[in-house]
């Protein structure tokens, strides 16, 4: 069986404020939703294809709360937020509270799931698999956890810990938001929240697991390749 790789535009936004990245996502997302609405009125041979984008970035210290979350999972007040140079933002993705900061690869795929013949559940599973395969390249075994999105280590033990959080939004099969993958992340910032609403599970990073800082750019390169393999896309 020949798999035709679908071209998707890739952009590395570097270090960018969370709100600025969110605004950019919203603009691209709205453009794609508009195209889908217009396509419904056109014959198939005149419809525009939505190429899609995958965005990578890092954020300055920020806590974000998803639609299904509760602010009680942020364990600090505004004064302490200022002290640790962090901000707080309510967002329209799924999931509860999480932390973004330097040394973390944040990925925002804005793609048309119908183009890839995916439902949302399988889309999330593909994101998880892309991270799992990336970690394996660096000698770290990880897996999905039943009943909890993201990528985890040692799920069958009392040392279960999350290395990648996932929270997405999808409308008319167009996605936004995505994943937060701890590479060289300062894990102390997670002490001020119940990550993703959990109080009985830990958080980790590649740096913590390997005992040394990891080549951040190399991890991004490997992750791009794994996403291409899992999704059947060509990031260009």
Label residue 199 by pLDDT band (50, 70, 90): low
**Torsion sign over Cα 74, 149, 183, 161:** positive
Q: Which of 57, 89, 164, 196 is catalytic?
A: 196
Label residue 195 by pLDDT band (50, 70, 90): low
Predicted confidence at residue 73, as pLDDT, reads: 81
CB atoms within 10 A of CB 167: 26
Q: In this model, does residue 177 exceed pLDDT 90?
A: yes
The model's pTM? 0.93
Q: Which of 19-23, 48-52, 105-109, 198-202 has the lowest mean pLDDT?
A: 198-202
Label residue 198 by pLDDT band (50, 70, 90): low
164 is catalytic: no
**Torsion sign over Cα 91, 205, 104, 164:** negative
Strands 53-58 and 104-110: what pairing? antiparallel
- Assess contact for 165 and 90: CB atoms under 8 A: no
Label residue 71 by pLDDT band (50, 70, 90): confident
- Assess contact for 223 and 181: CB atoms under 8 A: yes
d(Cα 216, Cα 97) in Å, to the nearest integer? Answer: 24
More confident residue, 67 or 16: 16
Q: Which of 113, 67, 70, 55 is nearest to 93 (CA)?
A: 67
Predicted confidence at residue 196, as pLDDT, reads: 53
- E strand or H helix that includes residue 49: none
Label residue 2 by pLDDT band (50, 70, 90): low
**Torsion sign over Cα 66, 70, 76, 79:** positive
134-143 pLDDT, tens digit each: 999 999 999 9
Which residue's entry shows tokens 């394996």? 136
Mean predicted lDDT score pLDDT of the chain:
93
Q: Which two tokens stand for residue 93?
A: 């993705």
Query: 123-141 as b/e, with b when 16 or more CB fall inside 10 Å?
Result: bbbbbbbbbbbbbeeeebe
Interior angle at CA 110, CA 69 and CA 67, nearest 5: 10
d(Cα 120, Cα 112) in Å, to the nearest integer? Answer: 11
Q: In this model, does residue 150 exceed pLDDT 90?
A: yes
HSE, side-chain direction, 13 A CA sphere, residue 144: 14
Three-state DSSP state, 199: coil
Eight-state DSSP code of residue 221: H
Give all domains of the chain, ordered by start, each with its CATH number: 7-235 (3.30.930.10)
Query: For the residues 25-47, what does the mean pLDDT come to?
Result: 95
Strands 6-15 and 53-58: what pairing? parallel
Proportion of the chain above pLDDT 70, given as a percent: 96
- E strand or H helix that includes residue 10: strand 6-15
């Amino acid at each position: 069986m020949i798999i035709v790789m679908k071209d998707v535009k890739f952009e590395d936004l570097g270090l960018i404020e969370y709100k600025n990245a969110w605004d950019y996502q919203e603009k691209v997302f709205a453009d794609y939703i508009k195209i889908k609405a217009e396509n419904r009125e056109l014959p198939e041979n005149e419809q525009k294809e939505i190429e899609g984008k995958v965005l990578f970035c890092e954020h300055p210290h920020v806590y974000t709360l998803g639609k299904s979350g509760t602010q009680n999972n942020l364990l600090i007040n505004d004064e302490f937020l200022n002290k640790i140079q962090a901000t707080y933002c309510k967002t329209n993705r799924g999931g509860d509270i999480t932390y973004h900061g330097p040394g973390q690869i944040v990925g925002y795929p804005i793609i048309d799931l119908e183009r890839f013949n995916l439902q949302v559940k399988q889309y999330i599973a593909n994101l998880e698999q892309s991270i799992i395969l990336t970690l394996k390249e660096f000698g770290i075994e990880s897996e999905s956890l039943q009943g909890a999105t993201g990528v985890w280590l040692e799920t069958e033990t009392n040392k279960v810990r999350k290395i990648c959080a996932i929270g997405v939004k999808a409308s008319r099969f167009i996605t936004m938001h995505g994943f937060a993958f701890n590479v060289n992340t300062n894990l102390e910032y997670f002490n001020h929240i119940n990550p993703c609403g959990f109080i009985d599970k830990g958080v980790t990073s590649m740096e913590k697991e390997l005992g040394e800082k990891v080549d951040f750019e190399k991890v991004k390169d490997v992750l791009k390749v794994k996403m291409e393999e899992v999704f059947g896309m060509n990031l260009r």
